Structure 1
């Protein structure tokens, strides 16, 4: 007889098996133990599903003709894994056994694993390895492996795992947790990898409260753990959606669809970063690219499934997509928007309840990657710039603004803080205002708002007055600190130049080592250090005495700061070279001590390296704001 359908209503499926973004997706599916023969048909709210073959009704049963199961082999394998792996694995409990054995071997093993004493652990296990490895040592029924994992003792864990059979890793403690559940709960990626390499099936075994290790990692918001454990799960979630396409509309306990969760998770489509750690990771390859590709593929599949669902009207689909459109624009989820608008092109011209398009929202929340696409709209761009939007104020009324007014508003603190330093934040705000102003028709630039009757420029000055003052204070403080260092370098370099290394000839006063190469290195580097330190001092002095008008923050002040910091760094490097050259000159005649100048030269460059390391974010933001800001609003030839 063919499988019986109709036992699960749509509401039951929505409650029991929601399709979530990476955190929950396969966990609920496996947890309910749904088998291929129990495949629900959720197209009928009453639960009287329909088959695809010839049907005859007999009483309450509906029989369908033979048909190929839509369930993929991978899903069936995963269900069999769930069935086999979640049978309780018990272990002998030493505290309830022979007291002498427990005191002589159980207690010392507990202490050794807890303290990370690998040598002591080896000695104890060599006596009675099999029994001790499979026995629980505590009142909580924790094995030696549980204890070592909980204490994050990776070396001991590796030793224990090397001695254990793969099935021994499936032993659970009193709460039902495997060692992998404990590792994930403690956030140890290294230990989790050790366990998974020995027994990959651990990822399918549930722990306390019926949670899988994958789900625990998601709850802890641990991306490293999640993607180390769940990369295959993400692919499997896509396979599930291809089979159960109705789940694209399913909602979780928070009334969220899978597409809605992805819209609110820009981190799932992690963008590029320029930090040293990220750059290194990109060179050697990490799971980040896989995360992005999986999220994009899942989003495309969800959009495709929703748009092709004949049970939903086109209006329903578009309305749902529109809500997600504006939420994704607010959060700057550019890659999600690219997929969504690629599936529903008309969304690009949609307006929310306050008459804002996604470009107005991008301006308000400072998302340049989204706003740049306005350049691809041709004449439609001018129409969008003319939109009158309603901006809520504190008195529960609305102020009528144009887009340039939105650019004049101060954004939220989290959007300001993407650039360090109030002065550079002020520069970024001016860049936004200038960009939107260039796209606004001249006749619109002097439009006044409906409440305070302010032009966009007047509103900008009012909103950014405190930021301008903070920028002035920050710039002066930075310049004063830099000028102190530059002045000290100038004094040191001048003193070094006055006392010539190696001394001078009594006859004509020329340096004795003037013919040596290292003396020429000393002379040049000393001159470079002197000039660059003076330049640095002048740049910082110019910053301190600046008038600090709004326009000064756009180019002049950032350029002076960049020049001052560059000259300061060059003077430091030149001073270190000069210092090293002196040591080479003084030790040139001592063959047995030639290692001394080499060592001192290496050590002398530590201050300069430390300066770059400690001030990396400042240097990066200053140079990016000064020389790279003009590329922020570079029109993108590609379209959504």
Structure 2
């Protein structure tokens, strides 16, 4: 028996309204997602889309008996309820009356009655709530857009002429909005061309969604250059239309420029109106370029519009926004040895979008008047150009052979452009009055010190040296900020300013803390995480305290702050938990190594008593005592026993240590280094001893036995080196190396 059409329509309406409710709930939020599209795709993947688009068949063979069909209908209804509940906030889910309802339709009606949104104002901007509407009519066009099937889309558009410009979902997106939302997909360009051509009035290309964004905004966001060119060619006015938040398409292109620079370059050519480049809109564009690492574009923008250097958005200027890009300014400090070697060798990749000009004869003639000097200068410049061209060409070829080289080269180019951009900002800020410079550059200086952005600090201080005495609202100068945030590179830079250092050292913040008090406080967690293991972290904190103590006058060592605590008390209280964690880490490590050392010592002692081959019954000497392999066995076995015993004693001393604060600086790391070294030697000696025994017993006159034995003997040694050697190197470097404050 077939299900009545009225019930089918009820299920159909439940699904559509559920999708609409999900979309409305998130309307206006920053993390907005087109949920309706996702629900349609979900239902399509489960073959449930027929309950949405009204294509339920009356065929008895497809439905089967009434009992099975009712069961399937119930499952579909539960799926709709799950879609609704999955979209609700935690507050709405607490409504028990909603959970007691049986069908999805009932849930929807109750939610609509109780929680129907009403128009309101938020932050001065109009929040758009969409009227509930059944958009299921446009589902065939929706599916054609998703599959890029122009034949089906064209057939639908011929039936409904206004469908190409009509909103087809609750976000008021038109077909063109959805069509341009794919970057460089096969067949997408043809689809967009046909769709744009089907729109009779070119002004309809500017139709906006609920956020005031036109289709060109979508093309810029998704990096769809083909679609952008097609739309702008039809209506050149569109790049100058902003959304409700004052954002132009070029802003979206800049935000996603790191994916496709060509898209932003195109919008830069077609956006001729100065509105996107000036005032607050220009600042937003500048921030978007910096976030995408397009510093060369940002430099050109500031050169053309110098006022952007002084504008602020939410208290952040362009220079202050640059302070958070510390990884861009780190240069080679985060590269390994081979990457650093490549970094210094690779040439900077200059792009065609740059405004840099190639030197010519006219430039040379302007430099000097003497004809002979002009000729010499001319030849020298062009000879240098030829060398650079060959150098660049060589690395262009190497990039193809060594793909990793491109990463290093791009990093160097970004760093080079970022330094130029920062210098350009400082140059523009220097033309402002004293108060503006003090506010913009001073705050940026302290922020750069907080993020250990030492290159930016150096640029600012070279341009504005008097800002070294700038204080924040807590009366903290650059040295206070540096020590508090453990910015070692900026600390080294400031300490090199010997004429200014004394005045910075004797300053107090608003809480009466000197830099030694701040060194006694626990480092920020992100700086502690740079060092592995609580014991190492405690050692680095002690090194910081010791280094700062050396530059602070002795009269400040016992000085009390406003909390009546001296720096030593501050250090002890702040690092109490870290000290306990470091003690536990040292004991756990020592206990594990003690077991290994004791096992090796036991094996070595037993091997020394029961020598390979046994002893001569008459003389009592080992049978193979004259064999070279036996000599190797004896020496390596003795070395294994002695080194493992030494390692065992060292780790026992670590376990019984008093674990005072100062012990973490040298005593405990020194013991751990000695223990790990002797343990490594004992393992190596044990492997050599065993290999010699195998050769004595089974390798006589069989030289080929040496190859597999030696190969397999390398496995445990290599494993130990890979797993424990980095720890050993870090220990030696931090304890006996140059230190974290010296090059």
TM-score between the two structures when normalised by the length of structure 2: 0.52
How far apart are the structure 1 equivalents of 2:552 and 2:736?
A: 25
3-state secondary structure, aligned to 1:622: helix
Counterpart of 2:525 in structure 1 is: 413
**Residue 563 of structure 1: which of 663, 667, 674 is its match?**
674
Counterpart of 2:225 in structure 1 is: 205
How far apart are the structure 1 equivalents of 2:476 and 2:502?
A: 14
Q: Does 1:469 align with 2:580?
A: yes
How far apart are the structure 1 equivalents of 2:715 and 2:733?
A: 25
How far apart are the structure 2 equivalents of 1:481 and 1:233?
A: 47
Counterpart of 1:112 in structure 2 is: none
Counterpart of 2:458 in structure 1 is: 338
Aligned counterparts, 1:235-634, within 5 A:
236-237=296-297, 240-241=300-301, 244=304, 246=306, 249=309, 256-270=316-330, 272=332, 278-283=336-341, 286=405, 287-288=407-408, 290-292=410-412, 294-308=414-428, 312-390=432-510, 399-451=511-563, 453-591=564-702, 594-628=703-737, 630-634=738-742
Q: Does 1:175 align with 2:181?
A: yes
* Structure 1: runs of 5 or more not aligned: 1-136, 144-171, 183-201, 220-229, 391-398
State the shift of 1:204 in Å: 8.0
How far apart are the structure 1 equivalents of 2:334 and 2:630?
A: 40
State the shift of 1:590 in Å: 4.8
- TM-superposition CA deviations, 1:496-537 (whole Å, max 9, x none): 222222333333232333333332222222222111111111
3-state secondary structure, aligned to 2:512: strand
Q: Is the 8 A contact 1:486 1:568 kept in 2?
A: yes
Q: Is the 8 A contact 2:450 2:481 kept in 1?
A: yes
Counterpart of 1:39 in structure 2 is: none
- Evaluate the alpha carbon distance shift between residue 233 and residue 374 of structure 1 in structure 2; reply closer, same or farther with a 3 A threshold: closer
Q: Is the 8 A contact 2:639 2:685 kept in 1?
A: yes
Q: Is the 8 A contact 1:206 1:212 kept in 2?
A: no
State the shift of 1:317 in Å: 3.0
State the shift of 1:248 in Å: 5.0
- Evaluate the alpha carbon distance shift between residue 356 and residue 458 of structure 1 in structure 2; reply closer, same or farther with a 3 A threshold: same
How far apart are the structure 2 equivalents of 1:445 and 1:349?
A: 23
Q: Is the 8 A contact 1:490 1:534 kept in 2?
A: yes
- Evaluate the alpha carbon distance shift between residue 622 and residue 217 of structure 1 in structure 2; reply closer, same or farther with a 3 A threshold: same
3-state secondary structure, aligned to 1:266: coil
State the shift of 1:406 in Å: 0.6
Q: Is the 8 A contact 2:604 2:637 kept in 1?
A: yes
- TM-superposition CA deviations, 1:585-632 (whole Å, max 9, x none): 2333353xx44432232122212222232335533432222222x522
Q: Is the 8 A contact 2:636 2:688 kept in 1?
A: yes
Aligned counterparts, 1:106-185, within 5 A:
140-141=146-147, 175-179=181-185
Q: Is the 8 A contact 2:600 2:683 kept in 1?
A: yes
How far apart are the structure 2 equivalents of 1:610 and 1:179?
A: 47
- Evaluate the alpha carbon distance shift between residue 567 and residue 142 of structure 1 in structure 2; reply closer, same or farther with a 3 A threshold: farther
3-state secondary structure, aligned to 2:621: coil
How far apart are the structure 2 equivalents of 1:206 and 1:457?
A: 66
3-state secondary structure, aligned to 1:389: coil
- Evaluate the alpha carbon distance shift between residue 377 and residue 627 of structure 1 in structure 2; reply closer, same or farther with a 3 A threshold: same
Q: Is the 8 A contact 1:348 1:358 kept in 2?
A: yes
How far apart are the structure 1 equivalents of 2:725 and 2:307?
A: 47
How far apart are the structure 1 equivalents of 2:422 and 2:696?
A: 72
Q: Is the 8 A contact 2:426 2:463 kept in 1?
A: no
State the shift of 1:380 in Å: 2.8
3-state secondary structure, aligned to 2:613: coil
Q: Is the 8 A contact 1:423 1:470 kept in 2?
A: yes
3-state secondary structure, aligned to 2:418: helix
3-state secondary structure, aligned to 1:400: coil
How far apart are the structure 2 equivalents of 1:305 and 1:281?
A: 30
3-state secondary structure, aligned to 2:558: coil
How far apart are the structure 2 equivalents of 1:633 and 1:330?
A: 16
- Evaluate the alpha carbon distance shift between residue 537 and residue 233 of structure 1 in structure 2; reply closer, same or farther with a 3 A threshold: closer
Q: Which shifted more, 258-267 or 428-437?
A: 258-267
- TM-superposition CA deviations, 1:34-54 (whole Å, max 9, x none): xxxxxxxxxxxxxxxxxxxxx
Q: Is the 8 A contact 1:296 1:335 kept in 2?
A: no
3-state secondary structure, aligned to 1:462: helix
- Evaluate the alpha carbon distance shift between residue 380 and residue 435 of structure 1 in structure 2; reply closer, same or farther with a 3 A threshold: same
3-state secondary structure, aligned to 2:256: helix
**CA RMSD between the two structures:** 3.6
- Evaluate the alpha carbon distance shift between residue 281 and residue 381 of structure 1 in structure 2; reply closer, same or farther with a 3 A threshold: closer
Q: Is the 8 A contact 1:448 1:455 kept in 2?
A: yes
Q: Which shifted more, 489-498 or 547-556?
A: 489-498
How far apart are the structure 2 equivalents of 1:329 and 1:569?
A: 42
Q: Is the 8 A contact 1:472 1:548 kept in 2?
A: yes
State the shift of 1:562 in Å: 1.0
State the shift of 1:577 in Å: 1.7
* Structure 2: runs of 5 or more not aligned: 1-142, 150-177, 189-221, 229-248, 261-289, 344-404
Counterpart of 2:123 in structure 1 is: none
Q: Is the 8 A contact 2:538 2:664 kept in 1?
A: yes
Counterpart of 2:245 in structure 1 is: none
Q: Does 1:215 align with 2:256?
A: yes
- Evaluate the alpha carbon distance shift between residue 439 and residue 270 of structure 1 in structure 2; reply closer, same or farther with a 3 A threshold: closer
- Evaluate the alpha carbon distance shift between residue 505 and residue 405 of structure 1 in structure 2; reply closer, same or farther with a 3 A threshold: same
Counterpart of 2:106 in structure 1 is: none
How far apart are the structure 1 equivalents of 2:672 and 2:430?
A: 61
Bigger RCO (CA 8 Å, 6+ sep): 1
How far apart are the structure 1 equivalents of 2:681 and 2:561?
A: 50
